[in-house]
Amino acid sequence: MDSMPHLFVAAIDLGTTYSGVGFSSRDSFTKDPTNVYLKSWHGIMVTSKAPTAVLFHHQKFVSFGYEAEDKYTELLLDGEAECWNFFTKFKMSLYEQQTSLDALELEAENGNKMSALTVFSAAIRYLWEQIMNAIVKQVSYVTCEDVKWVITVPAIWTQPAKSFMRKAATLAGLESKMLTIALEPEAAAIFLKHLPLQKKKFGEIGDTFRAFSPGSKYIIVDAGGGTMDITTHGVLEDGSVRELIQSSGGDWGGTNVDDNIMEFLEDLLGSKTMSTLRTDHQLDFLELKRNIETAKLSISTQSKRKMTIIIPAVLHDLFKENHDGMELSSVKSAKLREGKTVDISLSKGKLKLDYEIACSFFEGVINSICSHLKHIFQQCSEFEVDILIMVGGFSNSTILSHGVVKEFSDKHVIVPEDADWSVLKGAVIFGHDPWLIKERRSRYTYGVKCKQIFKDDIHDPAKRVEENGKVFCRNLFSKHVEIGELITVGEYQTKKKYRVSHDTTSKLELYASRDPDPKYVTDEGCFKIGELKLSSPDLEVGSKSCVQLSFSQTEIEAKMSHRKSGETTALYLETNF
């Protein structure tokens, strides 16, 4: 990992629902690591994050965030949106992707499709340009070469997804050598370690201080719009941390609540009504989604007031058309998916639901989160973890936080005041000082596809192949690191030699598995994550090159030792295989 100091560190947090950018100078970091500049975004109100929305005219980028939303709304009003591609919440397209993503396409609101790489790179380019403009306003002579760039990703993302983000960033114009990928829950932990004691929204004063004192153990939950990301740390004597078990999580973010509300409306109004709204009245459908988001954020355990959803006027007409002239305002009850019938109020364009009904939209998500957390606590029972820290935008929901507190009443649950910004600010701190994380657990067993001289008593006859008068066993899994293995950050693991198959270029194919000891890359559960391209004038057909891999960083790193010169070359994982 690059440890050279930079004049500035800038971070991009491209979220599922909202995105933000921030930076700090080296001098500012030295004085106060938490003093991070966050760009303000101007919509209906000024916020420190913008909607993750991108607008293209055909394939040409036009706008991002509130501007993209407003422009697309105008186009829909004028009936001119056909050639305009509007994308939201596209980050989830990378969730659980195990193979190359270069061919991945995203579907716009109007049904048109575009390359995911084009959409992501355009968004990243726009965001880094916003940071550079803000930095240059402070120091006019600064260039991109003076800035260390950090992009955040969920810890539970696969290597192909992380590699895709790096590729999108370099396509956007950032130099790969100036770019670091930060894991979101780790970034949050780094920020919280520096957070003043009084800056707590939920939990006792001093809990966070205790969480980061030597010998302490904690679970940090990053609850975002799309995913929930969990990392478990133990604090070492020098203040650095080790990962106690490998990171995990799932697609249990806040957008699931929106989906549950939308399903409720579909049951209430009819699938045909909602389908027509979605296809023939895109502006009204977009308005309804915004209204649902607003209604969701209004639900609080403090006020316990009703959830109010503003219903677009066209829905009244569509409902009447599809229900034999029946007025929408005449509907007085609805049936929840679990079969319970509840009273509702529909008048003056507003749907009002009791607090208990509103809470039911959160139940499934909270149950999934708590169920997984129970499993995590069981996994790390030997470490006696009793502190649970919640960060991310969804953590601001008191419905969620109180649900977690109720389920884990024997634990210390902490929700910091800056839960929304902890990942972004922590990513900036991580760029200045990446060494808080000392040891990580491998999420998979990683290895290289290779072949060896065939041995009748060991190898599968089906893998037997003859080449140049010799008999080999192909598709062997040459293990470099085992799932759950504790790895020191910055160290390379297992130096191995591999035979070169071409004279000046060759490649190593990397595979992963949840099996601790796979024998062949064709075994069930094994999957290819990428290739390492070897290129050197030292390479000779039949010779062996010495390769070392590191799985301790946020991305897989590799280096190859040159046989003749003795020099070492850095290798980068490629996923366009």
Above 90 in pLDDT, residue 506?
no
- DSSP secondary structure string, 150-208? EEEE-TT--HHHHHHHHHHHHHTT--GGGEEEEEHHHHHHHHHHTS-TT-EEES-TTHH
Do 40 and 73 belong to one domain?
yes
Q: Which of 434, 467, 491 is the last residue of a domain?
A: 434
Residues with Cβ within 8 Å of 469's Cβ and at least 6 positions away in sequence, in order, are: none
pLDDT of residue 531: 84
Q: Which residue has the higher pLDDT, 535 or 459?
A: 459
Percentage of the chain modeled with pLDDT above 70:
89
Do 84 and 187 belong to one domain?
yes
Kindly state whether residue 238 falls inside one of the protein's structural domains.
no
Strands 147-153, 8-14: pairing kind: parallel
And the tokens for 507? 């490649």
Q: Which residue has the higher pLDDT, 469 or 96?
A: 469
| CA distance to 6, 372, 392, 395, per residue, from 407 (Å) | 45, 12, 20, 15
pLDDT of residue 198: 45
pLDDT of residue 204: 53
Burial 182-192 (b: 16+ CB within 10 A, else e): bbbbbbbbbbb
SS3 helix, strand, coil % of the chain, rounded to 5? 35, 35, 35
- Residue carrying structure tokens 């995990």: 248
> pLDDT of 6-58, one tens digit each?
899 999 999 999 999 999 999 999 999 999 999 999 876 678 899 999 999 99
Do 560 and 451 belong to one domain?
yes
Above 60 in pLDDT, residue 541?
no
Do 190 and 276 belong to one domain?
no
CATH number, domain with residue 145: 3.30.420.40
Above 70 in pLDDT, residue 575?
no
Kindly state whether residue 427 falls inside one of the protein's structural domains.
yes
What is the average per-residue pLDDT within 261-282?
A: 92
> pLDDT of 450-463, one tens digit each?
999 999 999 999 99
Do 427 and 529 belong to one domain?
no
Q: Which residue has the higher pLDDT, 94 or 548?
A: 94
* Burial bucket for residue 576 (CB in 10 Å: 0-12, 13-18, 19+): middle
Determine contact, residues 398/188, Cβ cutoff 8 Å: no
Q: Which of 128, 68, 190 is nearest to 435 (CA)?
A: 190
What is the average per-residue pLDDT within 420-432?
A: 94
Do 80 and 189 belong to one domain?
yes
Residue 142 CA to residue 120 CA, distance in Å, equals 26
Do 35 and 163 belong to one domain?
yes
Which residues in 363-460 belong to E strands, given as ranges?
Answer: 387-391, 412-416, 437-441, 445-453
Q: Which of 411, 434, 457 is the last residue of a domain?
A: 434
Using the Cα atoms of residue 516, residue 520, residue 524 and residue 525 in order, give the sign of their dihedral.
Answer: positive
pLDDT of residue 158: 86
- Total tally of structural domains belonging to the chain: 3
Do 69 and 162 belong to one domain?
yes
pLDDT of residue 2: 52
What is the average per-residue pLDDT within 274-284?
A: 91
Do 186 and 288 belong to one domain?
no
Above 80 in pLDDT, residue 332?
yes
Work out the number of other CB atoms within 10 angstroms of the CB of residue 202: 19
pLDDT of residue 165: 94
Above 90 in pLDDT, residue 524?
yes
Strands 60-64, 8-14: pairing kind: unpaired
pLDDT of residue 145: 86
Residue 21 domain boundaries: 8-195+420-434
Determine contact, residues 157/404, Cβ cutoff 8 Å: no
Work out the number of other CB atoms within 10 angstroms of the CB of residue 414: 25
pLDDT of residue 503: 46
Determine contact, residues 61/122, Cβ cutoff 8 Å: yes
Above 60 in pLDDT, residue 160?
yes
Q: Which residue has the higher pLDDT, 491 or 405?
A: 405
Above 80 in pLDDT, residue 207?
no
Do 430 and 454 belong to one domain?
no
Q: Which amino acid is present at 181? A: I
Q: CA gyration radius for the chain? A: 26
> pLDDT of 301-330, one tens digit each?
888 999 999 999 999 999 999 998 999 888
And the tokens for 268? 């209430």
pLDDT of residue 409: 93
Kindly state whether residue 393 falls inside one of the protein's structural domains.
no
Above 60 in pLDDT, residue 505?
no
Q: Which residue has the higher pLDDT, 215 or 546?
A: 215
pLDDT of residue 199: 46
pLDDT of residue 529: 86
Do 190 and 273 belong to one domain?
no
Do 46 and 151 belong to one domain?
yes
Kindly state whether residue 208 falls inside one of the protein's structural domains.
no
Residue 444 CA to residue 412 CA, distance in Å, equals 30
Mean pLDDT of all residues belonging to the chain: 87
pLDDT of residue 231: 94
Residue 415 CA to residue 199 CA, distance in Å, equals 10
- Give residue 297's pLDDT band: very low, low, confident or very high (50, 70, 90): confident
Kindly state whether residue 190 falls inside one of the protein's structural domains.
yes
pLDDT of residue 128: 95
* Burial bucket for residue 302 (CB in 10 Å: 0-12, 13-18, 19+): exposed
